[in-house]
Chains A and B, each alone.
Chain A
Amino acid sequence: MSETPARSQPIKLNIIDQPLDAYTGGPSSLCPGCGHDQISSVIISAAWENGVEPHRIAKMSGIGCSSKTPAYYLGQAHGFNTVHGRMPSVTTGAAAVNRDLLYLGVSGDGDSASIGIGQLIHAIRRNLDMVYIVENNGVYGLTKGQYSATAEIGSKKKKGKANEQPPIDLCALAINLGCTFVARSFSGSKKQLNALLKAAMSHRGFALIDVISPCVTFNNNDESFRSYGYVKENEVTLHMADYIPQRVPMEEIEVPEGHYRDITLHDGSVIRLETIDADHDPSDAVAALAALHKAADDDHHVTGLLYFDPDMPIMHDNLGLPEASLIDLPADALRPSEAALDAVVARFRGA
């Protein structure tokens, strides 16, 4: 059922006859072992497996280590490495005039939880149709290791004293704002991240994936709550997530032995959530918040699809726009006629 290809088989083509290479980008200049590079590789494989036309993706980012990564994947797509914390507004403007692209945003915890938290909040509030990945490591990397607003109390980075201020949990924030797709994952859990990312691409609305992505240089020591070792020890997985593309008949999919939930996404694809311990209902915001708070109390990280709401209108539904993107309108649809101007002026003159 899983179709995750090994990257060592580049000759294999996806459903639109594209090799994996059509989805790759330039070489990474991040530190060797950086969690962000693992996320980039999942972005490449998920887009390839989903058969998205690579040039129909718009890669959006803000500023920071995370926001450099669009150069490392999807080289056939246009992208915009904008300004710090402001990727949501640029994406909003672009999406308003071109609704035919898959907007794939990558941000970091400084970008999203501090300087850009307002723009993140308002993009969620508008239910902008985009995938928004936070590569969340608890520190500012490019400025050499200051705590960010997602660092937990008591977590200690490589240098300096332990963090003393409470963290902003972006998933809890998003759920409270009514975000329509909220997931948490870990850069080291590539299978789960792959399934969640493909589901997010199939979602119509704002899909937030908060990915714990360890900073190997400044925050990967054992006392850090966001080191590889700590997260592996303390990850609480809500469910086993599998993505079943719309093109695959459900009857061909093996039915799990235990309890599971199938959630149908906007394009007809399904994300199957197999219960591990206790069942989690992603339509239940209170249960999702409870899971987050419990994990926080235990100094754990809970991962999986926390919350999902298929029914909220997206930004476009409220703008009164045509189905066709505005950028494709011809000049005569944009400039009213001379007679129209004459009529406006005649009305002024009659007043």
Chain B
Amino acid sequence: MTTIVNDFTLNIATANGTGSQSANLILLQSLFNMGIEVSGKNLFPSNISGLPTWYIVRVSDAGYQAPGDRTHIQVLMNPDTWAEDLADLQPGSVVIWNTDAKMVMDRVDVVSYPVPMTTMARTLNPKLARMVANVIYVGVIAEMLGIEDDAILAAIAGQFKGKASAIDLNTQAYRLGRTFANEELTKADPYAVEARGNPGGRFFIEGNEAAALGAIFGGVQMLAWYPITPSSSLAEGVINYIPKLRTNEHGEATCAVIQAEDELAAAGMVVGAGWAGARGMTATSGPGISLMQEFIGLAYFAEIPSVFWDVNRVGPSTGLPTRTQQSDLQMLYEGSHGDTQHIVLIPGTVEECFEFGWRAFDVSERFQTPVFGLSDLDLGMNRWTCEGFTYPDVPMDRGKVIRDRDVFEAMEDFGRYRDVDGDGIPYRTLPGSGMAPILSRGTGHDPSGKYSEKSHVYLDLMQRLRRKIDGARPHLPAPILREEEECDVGIVYFGSMENSIQEIDDIIESGGRKVSQCRVRSLPLHPEVEDFCARHKTVIVLEINRDGQLWGIMRRELPNHLVDRVHSVAYSDGMPPRASVYAERIIATIEEVEG
């Protein structure tokens, strides 16, 4: 039997509320501590206790982070999904199962490692046996795969930071599992791990925490939010960092935090803070954005800086609230009634979550318009390898806001909505300043801010707004390009698809075809996206949704001669993107196009 090193997918089936998350994170962190390329995905239910949860660990020297096409090692803890999980396994898979679950393990074509996990856990702590049993499987996996003892101990210490009794109990449970595996089980599977050196400066972080940290360094002054999965940890990240990073010498916060009564109010508070001259933000998910639409239109029309983070989950309606999707793009780009167009920043990595976390405020204040950060559950709530964060390389850009009366008085014929510089961006003064006060409004208004229903006034205003947002294109994050010399086929994608693209590319390449890639990082589209399309005979727009939302936007905005070459591969079943699923569809589309 040939040993398979650092190339397998491990799936742990538990019920939520049993404490399995900390055991799974210990496992993930221990592999990371050995310098191995590893990613973890938590497939959790919208529930607090008792419903099925799976944790998928992908170990890949190739650096693949998608969940993989099949499970190589299955841990069975949950009687409710036992039979189905077991039936799904391919012959030759490994099953590590809790014999105390009193369930049948009747597959004879798999490698079976029975372990009395609950019984063993009970010897350590009868009351916490259900929770401790999870750490037993960590010990068994560690022994069977050859995870280093030090790596596990460091992970346990990190997980329970300074809580001696928890560290002690978990260490004992881990050792019990490891010793049992060593003494009672005989290795009969090919899977193993090997250390790949020090992880160096890299660390694990969730996208939501990175975006929160970015907002903190972006000078957020007011956070208004309403709890919703999967965005709550973004708002809570901001809240958690305020005491350490955003208090003055008296310990007073330099950012107000208000838990709103609903998303409408959260949006209203963000608009109020922006109107008053501050950096306001909210974090929500698709259902929240639906409720915020009216305010989004007001902020666009009255030109109020405001930052909205959308951590996308599966819709429509409540949908699959704990699964991932890229289905809010169009709603953000064209949010609210009437003619609108919004700036959307789309991170694909945790480093970019941080960067766009601060940059969103600069863009919003520069263009005096709502700016969205679009993340998703996969990027936001799972842990990703991070190289580090780059400190903002530019000072805060507060935009065309006049705070100084001398500057104001030097301006001739000031008008709140006058296009003085020809870039569509007007100047503004703030409430309380006494300078050129107006009644900001969602009704039609002339360049001085006065109510108007005149046709030419409305027309000029709407054309200026379009010119303003159009003018933002080159100033927004440019796409990331990876181009082949042939330039026959180019893949356009965005957001968390970044974590699957390398594997998708390798699958396509293994079939003898090379494709270029262009990762869109902002809307409206950067001019380089059009250039990329012009350089490739066939362009495939790859996204995690049903209808091809980015594809639709591109078809509308690209020049006519490029439209026919742009094709859609859009697919979403609620799962994080598995590379082969998308690669197959890309290949089929290319073949169809080429006839």
**Is A203's CB within 8 Å of the partner chain B?**
no
Instruction: Pick out which of these stretches binds chain B: A52-60, A171-179, A302-310.
Output: A52-60
Chain A neighbourhood of B451, CB < 8 A = 71
**Is A246's CB within 8 Å of the partner chain B?**
no
Instruction: Pick out which of these stretches binds chain B: A143-151, A279-287, A341-349.
Output: A341-349
Chain A neighbourhood of B266, CB < 8 A = 89
User: B439 contacts A55, CB within 8 Å?
Assistant: no
Chain B neighbourhood of A326, CB < 8 A = 221-222, 254-256, 278
> For the complex, what is the distance from the CA of A76 to the CA of B432, rounded to whole Å?
9
Chain B min CB distance to A49 (Å): 20
**Is B456's CB within 8 Å of the partner chain A?**
no
> Given that A92-B272, A97-B280, A326-B278 are known contacts, is A79 also in contact with B437, CB under 8 Å in the complex?
yes
User: B437 contacts A327, CB within 8 Å?
Assistant: no
**Is B3's CB within 8 Å of the partner chain A?**
no
Chain A neighbourhood of B250, CB < 8 A = 322
Task: Kindly state the interface size class of chain B when it binds its partner.
Answer: 35 or more
User: A94 contacts B434, CB within 8 Å?
Assistant: no
B245 partner, pick from A100, A344, A351, beta carbons under 8 A = A344
Chain A 35-56 per-residue mask, 1 if CB under 8 angstroms from chain B, else 0: 0000000000000000000011
Instruction: Pick out which of these stretches binds chain B: A212-220, A270-278, A329-337.
Output: A329-337
User: A90 contacts B258, CB within 8 Å?
Assistant: no
Chain B neighbourhood of A119, CB < 8 A = 261, 264-265, 268
> For the complex, what is the distance from the CA of A92 to the CA of B434, rounded to whole Å?
21
Chain A 278-320 per-residue mask, 1 if CB under 8 angstroms from chain B, else 0: 0000000000000000000000000000000000000000011
User: A55 contacts B389, CB within 8 Å?
Assistant: no
> Given that A97-B276, A119-B268 are known contacts, is A55 also in contact with B441, CB under 8 Å in the complex?
no
> Given that A335-B218, A348-B203, A349-B201 are known contacts, is A80 also in contact with B261, CB under 8 Å in the complex?
no
What's the dominant secondary structure at chain B's contact region? mixed
B439 partner, pick from A71, A97, A340, A351, beta carbons under 8 A = A71
User: B260 contacts A98, CB within 8 Å?
Assistant: no
A351 partner, pick from B203, B221, B248, B395, beta carbons under 8 A = B203
> For the complex, what is the distance from the CA of A331 to the CA of B358, rounded to whole Å?
13
B431 partner, pick from A92, A94, A349, beta carbons under 8 A = A94
User: B277 contacts A327, CB within 8 Å?
Assistant: yes
Chain B neighbourhood of A319, CB < 8 A = 253, 256-258
What's the dominant secondary structure at chain A's contact region? helix
Chain B min CB distance to A65 (Å): 14
User: B440 contacts A79, CB within 8 Å?
Assistant: yes
Chain B min CB distance to A297 (Å): 32
**Is A83's CB within 8 Å of the partner chain B?**
yes
> For the complex, what is the distance from the CA of A150 to the CA of B362, rounded to whole Å?
45
> For the complex, what is the distance from the CA of A340 to the CA of B245, rounded to whole Å?
7
User: A322 contacts B248, CB within 8 Å?
Assistant: yes
User: A98 contacts B431, CB within 8 Å?
Assistant: yes
User: B222 contacts A93, CB within 8 Å?
Assistant: yes
- Contacting A at CB under 8 A, from B148-203, are 158, 201-203
Chain B neighbourhood of A88, CB < 8 A = 265, 268
**Is B136's CB within 8 Å of the partner chain A?**
no
**Is A91's CB within 8 Å of the partner chain B?**
yes
User: A96 contacts B437, CB within 8 Å?
Assistant: no
> For the complex, what is the distance from the CA of A89 to the CA of B277, rounded to whole Å?
16
Chain B neighbourhood of A12, CB < 8 A = none
**Is B399's CB within 8 Å of the partner chain A?**
no
> For the complex, what is the distance from the CA of A93 to the CA of B275, rounded to whole Å?
9
**Is A205's CB within 8 Å of the partner chain B?**
no
User: B298 contacts A83, CB within 8 Å?
Assistant: yes
Chain B 408-452 per-residue mask, 1 if CB under 8 angstroms from chain A, else 0: 000000000000000000000111111001111111000000010
Chain A neighbourhood of B271, CB < 8 A = 82, 90, 93
Chain A min CB distance to B398 (Å): 8
**Is B73's CB within 8 Å of the partner chain A?**
no
Chain B neighbourhood of A333, CB < 8 A = 248, 254
User: A94 contacts B276, CB within 8 Å?
Assistant: yes
**Is A338's CB within 8 Å of the partner chain B?**
yes
B219 partner, pick from A56, A118, A334, beta carbons under 8 A = A334
Chain A min CB distance to B415 (Å): 15
- Contacting A at CB under 8 A, from B469-485, are none
Least CB separation from B245: chain A residue: A336
**Is B392's CB within 8 Å of the partner chain A?**
yes
**Is B269's CB within 8 Å of the partner chain A?**
yes
Chain B min CB distance to A64 (Å): 12
User: A78 contacts B431, CB within 8 Å?
Assistant: yes
> For the complex, what is the distance from the CA of A35 to the CA of B308, rounded to whole Å?
40
Residue among B224, B248, B272 having the largest count of chain A Cβ atoms under 10 Å: B272
> For the complex, what is the distance from the CA of A278 to the CA of B202, rounded to whole Å?
76
Chain A min CB distance to B292 (Å): 11
User: A93 contacts B441, CB within 8 Å?
Assistant: no
Chain A 107-144 per-residue mask, 1 if CB under 8 angstroms from chain B, else 0: 00000000000110110001000000000000000000
Least CB separation from A26: chain B residue: B450
User: A82 contacts B298, CB within 8 Å?
Assistant: yes
User: B439 contacts A59, CB within 8 Å?
Assistant: yes
User: A344 contacts B442, CB within 8 Å?
Assistant: no
Residue among A89, A100, A326, A344 having the largest count of chain B Cβ atoms under 10 Å: A89
User: B219 contacts A96, CB within 8 Å?
Assistant: no
**Is B294's CB within 8 Å of the partner chain A?**
yes
What 10 A-B pairs have minimum CB-CB distances, sorted nearest first? A93-B272, A89-B268, A334-B219, A55-B434, A93-B269, A97-B278, A78-B431, A90-B272, A94-B272, A89-B265
Residue pairs across A and B with Cβ atoms less than 8 A apart, 12 shown, are A78-B432, A88-B268, A89-B266, A92-B265, A97-B278, A97-B280, A98-B277, A118-B262, A322-B253, A326-B221, A326-B254, A336-B246
Given A77-B431, A83-B298, 17 extra CB contacts under 8 A: A71-B439, A77-B437, A78-B429, A79-B438, A79-B440, A81-B441, A83-B268, A86-B264, A89-B265, A89-B272, A90-B268, A90-B269, A119-B261, A322-B250, A327-B221, A336-B216, A336-B246
